[in-house]
């Protein structure tokens, strides 16, 4: 009986810890620093894009589509990079993020879309390679489809 109680207690604490792990602190500045390289990132619903801009960028506007946008700066200047990553559920399901490069005067953006079929917490695992050096980071984000 005592052994069963220990197992149940362990299971209960594990179940209670899962939401805490999922709610890992998101960097308020939405950036990661790696020496003189800074990666800024944001996630948002694709419906926040104006229709004309979405068409121009070849992005799908949908209540069930999200967008992740990254910029890579080296000493404050836009930096070319190889950006890749995946979107994972808390159960371990993984979906690759296919980043596209968008170049504008004085800026370089790396953009990928992902599905948001329902409210859920997802883990973004990202890899940014620039100047022959690979930087990795991840963050959790609670996602909501637009109503």
**pLDDT tens digit sequence for 57-106:** 899 999 999 999 999 999 999 999 999 999 998 888 999 999 999 998 99
Beta bridge pairs of residue 2: none
**pLDDT tens digit sequence for 13-55:** 333 333 333 334 445 678 999 999 999 999 999 999 999 999 9
The CATH number of the domain covering residues in 26-143: 2.60.40.3340
The domain locations on the chain are 26-143
Whole-model pTM over 0.95: no
């Amino acid at each position: 009986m005592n052994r069963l109680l220990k197992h149940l207690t362990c299971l209960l604490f594990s179940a209670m810890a899962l939401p805490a792990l999922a709610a890992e602190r998101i960097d308020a500045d939405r950036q990661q620093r790696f020496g003189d390289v800074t990666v800024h990132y944001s996630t948002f619903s694709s419906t926040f894009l104006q229709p004309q801009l979405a068409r121009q960028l070849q992005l799908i506007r949908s209540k069930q589509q999200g967008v992740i946008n990254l910029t890579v700066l080296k000493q404050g200047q836009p930096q070319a990079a190889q950006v890749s990553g995946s979107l994972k559920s808390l159960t371990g399901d993984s979906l690759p993020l296919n980043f596209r490069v968008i170049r504008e005067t004085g800026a370089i953006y790396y953009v990928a879309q992902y599905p948001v079929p329902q409210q859920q917490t997802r883990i973004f695992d990202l890899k940014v390679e620039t100047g022959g050096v690979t930087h990795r980071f991840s963050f959790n984000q609670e996602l909501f489809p637009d109503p």
